[in-house]
Amino acid sequence: MKKIIHYITIGSFLFLMNAGCNKSVKGRTDNLAPLNPQNIDLNAGTWKTVLLTRPDTFAVTAPAAINSTAYVAELNEIKGYQKNLTGDQEARIRYWAAGGVLRWNELMRELVAKYNLPPYQNADGTYPIPSAANPFAYPLFPFANPPYAARAYAYISAAQYDALVACWYYKKLYNRPAPYKTDNTVISKASQTDLPSYPSEAAVLAGVTAEMMKLLFPTEIAFIQAKATEQETATIMAGAATRSDIVAGEALGRQVAQVFIARARTDNAGKAVGTPADWSNLETTATAKGETPWYSLEVPKRPPMLPLFGKVTPFLFDTATVSALRPPAPPSTSSAQMKQETEEIHELITNPARENIRIVQFWADGVGTYTPPGHWDAIAAADFINKNFSEVRWARDMALLNMSLMDAAIVCWNTKFFYFNPRPTQMNPAIKTLTGIPNFPAYISGHSTFSGAAAAILGYIVPERANAYTAMAQEASFSRMAGGIHYRSDCAIGLQVGTNIGNYAITRAKNDGADK
Amino acid sequence: MCRACPYVHARIAVNMPQQVSCGIILITINKTTPMERCFIRKRLFVLALLLITGNLLLAQTDQDAIMMSKHNFCTGLMYGHSNWDHYWEGTFKRDNLNLGTVSTNSYAVMGNYGITDHLNFLFGVPYIQTKASAGTLHGQKGIQDLSVWLKWLAAEKTFGKHDLSLYLLGGFSTPLSNYTADFLPMSIGLHSTTFSGRLMLDYQHGGFFATGSATYIYRNDITIDRTAYYTTTQVQSNKVDMPDMAAFSLRTGYRSHPLIAEAVVTNMQTLGGFDIRKNDMPFPSNKMNATTVGINGKYEIAKIDGLSLTGGANYVMAGRNVGQATSYNLGVFYIIAFHPKKEHSNQKPSHDTSK
């Protein structure tokens, strides 16, 4: 009898154990269908570019005729691949067929997360600064913090957009059909469209992105180059482009990138770290105004994050407009309002509700993450997937979003270091936080500025989601109060400033020719 | 006598020929020795592997070779404290002035019921609080995970004065509250539902004993509040794949009445997972490994039948992605016999019959 009890009890236990097992983590874009654009945007070659003066600034020679020996040989290359595709090659084809702009944006987010690590201190309590000249030494270059990331996303997106506009210009000009149209024995493993294949948009994306990355993530050139080759090969294997489509596209992409790299080298980002003299100057200026200056709450004290990033040249407006967009001063550190706002945060954080912790964690986007701009890119990408945009429209919409986010970073940083005001915990050390305290002044909230800008431009691009974006922006903004790291003024004004910046992107979008 | 419980005459059912236990330590006392009663120790539910989180209470207790006799229920409270000011980021050992000392206090309710003399059911529920002495991170608190175990004395053999026993255990743990796992090192736990299997072998000769055990812990995915995170690659999901774990322990000491004392070495290995990078934040699916040494003791209060006190101390000698914790625990346990009449009359008398 005892034995039976043993067996029954142990048996049921094992059964319950088995029934409850759960291991099945999948990325939400792991198994997307091939991108099948609702509109191939054949006239995108006329859309307004960001930096290129003309879509044909860089010449692309006319392709060989489809009845030429050279072209037939290229078709044979495709057929050769298609005869013996491995499972892994099929998987690579499916991966890239979901959309090149999407995949490169995901790869960018991954690199930002990988490089978003603040340097560890030296033995003497100072901090090493990552060096673009010596990127493999610790601390690795770059430290992909929010301003750095915002700028990187913007340059990549804007360069991809200009390169694709040029690409579409030549596609229409030369009008060479895709291999699956010219030869019915070529199998199309992606979506079939009427879009001409010369030059290949996939190769344009591979070329322009790989070239930009040399500047932005120099230690990842080998990784990026492997991805670029993988995308190009997958496109050939998919029957979507021939070798000459690819070669012409990659060359065009790399040339367009040079225009953006030249701008990036002179946009003042290289000087954003500042010098010890700059850092102490900020403190002196705030003190002279009678305000309590910000100081780092890290131990040992860390120099502020990119204090001169506010001087970087924006994409959507000129430098003078940055000052014009800067909001009026926050409540004085000695004012009753500041005291009251500090107390409000203290109360919020004293016994945080689980829902508030969720909101803080959801939007934290701190160390080791793709940062708030990356988070908004992820939100946008999820919606763009459902919109079935063409590659060039994907690039245009991502460029609008990321230029807004970079310019939001510029205006926000400009404001933070203009006023240099302290975090709530500096005003009241009893304020413990539900996420790390960012190492820069409070006013205005970066999350709020980013989110205001993103919600505005995304609401224009995907109008049916406009209310949802606004609600998300408000939650992102509130998360910084709930986390104990921002006052209400930082968040409310930040949202407003962000919205103003997003409106510049909307004005651009209405006039770039894509929505006609 | 049990003065606290009017209905139970504390003639606890004790006297199993060879072992009675409450908890986890199997006390295979020599058959000729009077029985021990309630042995719960800290290891019960509180294998304080103070992970970098400060306080992962790995519910893999019961590494002890002691059984509770049929229809006896041993229950008690345990207080645990641990703290660390150094931790390992991967293999890099460091301190962090933005954390200072991370400390964890836990208050656990535990119990062990004898379904039969050879099959016990154990459970534990801790309430946990964390705190950092420096920096600004907000402490966390809450009810953590329910742990339950089935413990089966599968075989026992005596060779003269040498006793050898084999135990098989199955464990299950699941979060009882919606605490966040993704705020390490302040989180109170990792929020994974786990299933464990353990093989344990106990040898006893006179009062001397040695117990070895090996445990496999299957861990379910967890859900976090973020929708993407970086491990060694970017994952676009709010689900986190938790690598399984293995744990080994070896304990040896002396069992006598009214005191039991032992020394313990444990080793915990995460079967997969990744290292915290320099100056990165910890993450629930990190590769958390630790080798711990400790001592434990249990003392029976002579004046109150069924009442015992336990205590222990542990120190992490080596680790990876965990805090180098020092931990202490204190517990008080009491045995209730639900069916005193069912005691076997032929059992050897327990020590308290002499009272």
Q: What is the ipTM of this complex?
A: 0.94
Ordered by where they begin, the domains of chain A are 44-48+78-265 (1.20.144), 310-511 (1.10.606.20)
Would an 8 Å CB–CB cutoff place A362 in contact with chain B? yes
pTM for the model: 0.91
Nearest by CB to residue B97, choosing from A299, A370, A431, is: A299
Question: Cβ distance A109 to A374 under 8 Å?
Answer: yes
Would an 8 Å CB–CB cutoff place A8 in contact with chain B? no
Average pLDDT rounded to a whole number, residues A12-17: 65
Per residue in B29-66, pLDDT (tens digit) is 333 333 333 433 333 333 333 333 333 333 333 557 77
Question: Cβ distance B131 to B102 under 8 Å?
Answer: yes
Which H/E stretch holds residue A418?
Answer: helix A391-419
Average pLDDT rounded to a whole number, residues A336-355: 97
Ordered by where they begin, the domains of chain B are 47-354 (2.40.160.40)
Average pLDDT rounded to a whole number, residues A384-413: 98
Residue B15: its pLDDT value, please?
A: 26
Cβ separation A437–B136 shorter than 8 A: yes
Would an 8 Å CB–CB cutoff place A3 in contact with chain B? no
Per residue in A488-510, pLDDT (tens digit) is 999 999 999 999 999 999 999 99
Pick among B234, B235, B238, B275 to test the A interface (most A CBs inside 10 A): B234
Task: Assess whether pLDDT exceeds 50 at residue A111.
Answer: yes
Least confident range from A50-54, A207-211, A463-467, B68-72: namely B68-72
Pick among A3, A7, A21 to test the B interface (most B CBs inside 10 A): A21
Distance CA(A283)–CA(A364), nearest Å, equals: 27
Residues of A with Cβ-Cβ distance to B234 under 8 angstroms: 106, 109-110, 113-114, 370
SS3 B164: strand
Pick among B145, B167, B221, B236 to test the A interface (most A CBs inside 10 A): B236
Residue B258: its pLDDT value, please?
A: 87
> Roughly how many angstroms between the first and final C-alpha of chain B, as a whole number?
9
Would an 8 Å CB–CB cutoff place A21 in contact with chain B? yes
Task: Assess whether pLDDT exceeds 50 at residue A257.
Answer: yes
Q: Which of A381, A476, A469 is nearest to A157 (CA)?
A: A381
Would an 8 Å CB–CB cutoff place A422 in contact with chain B? no
Residues sharing a CB contact under 8 Å with residue B332, sequence separation 6 or more, in sequence order? B76, B77, B307, B308, B309, B310
Least confident range from A10-14, A59-63, A424-428, B161-165: namely A10-14
Question: Cβ distance B227 to A358 under 8 Å?
Answer: no
Residue A386: its pLDDT value, please?
A: 97
Mean pLDDT, chain A, whole residue set = 96
Per residue in A16-30, pLDDT (tens digit) is 666 667 777 899 999
SS3 B282: coil
Helix residue ranges per DSSP H, A217-327: 221-237, 243-265, 276-288, 319-325
Which H/E stretch holds residue A5?
Answer: helix A2-20
Percent of chain A at pLDDT above 90?
Answer: 95
Query: Dihedral angle at the C-alpha atoms of A249, A251, A254, A256, nearest 10 degrees?
Result: -70
Cβ separation A361–B98 shorter than 8 A: no
Would an 8 Å CB–CB cutoff place A481 in contact with chain B? no
Q: What is the CA radius of gyration of chain A?
A: 26
The vertex-A287 CA angle with A285 and A291, nearest 5°, equals 115
Residue A17: its pLDDT value, please?
A: 62
Per residue in A128-149, pLDDT (tens digit) is 999 999 999 999 999 999 999 9
Cβ separation A362–B225 shorter than 8 A: yes
B141 residue type, one letter:
K
Cβ separation A10–B152 shorter than 8 A: yes
CA distances from A492 to A281, A426, A445, B127, B310 (A): 28, 20, 9, 38, 55
Distance CA(A200)–CA(A122), nearest Å, equals: 48
Residue B257: its pLDDT value, please?
A: 82
Distance CA(A406)–CA(B79), nearest Å, equals: 52
Which residue from A minimizes the CA distance to B89?
A120
Distance CA(A110)–CA(A154), nearest Å, equals: 15
Question: Cβ distance A168 to A41 under 8 Å?
Answer: yes
Residue B25: its pLDDT value, please?
A: 31
Residues of A with Cβ-Cβ distance to B185 under 8 angstroms: none
Q: Per-block average pLDDT, block size 10, for chain B (355 residues)? A: 25 26 32 34 32 32 72 93 97 96 96 93 96 97 95 95 95 96 96 96 94 96 97 97 96 90 95 96 97 94 90 96 96 85 36 31
Q: Report how far Cα A295 is from the mean position of its chain's Cα atoms.
A: 29
Question: Cβ distance B168 to B152 under 8 Å?
Answer: yes
Q: Which of B93, B57, B104, B103 is nearest to B275 (CA)?
A: B93
Residues of B with Cβ-Cβ distance to A358 under 8 angstroms: 180, 225
Q: Are strands B56-58 and B47-49 parallel, antiparallel or unpaired?
A: antiparallel
Cβ separation A432–B97 shorter than 8 A: no
Task: Assess whether pLDDT exceeds 90 at residue A197.
Answer: yes
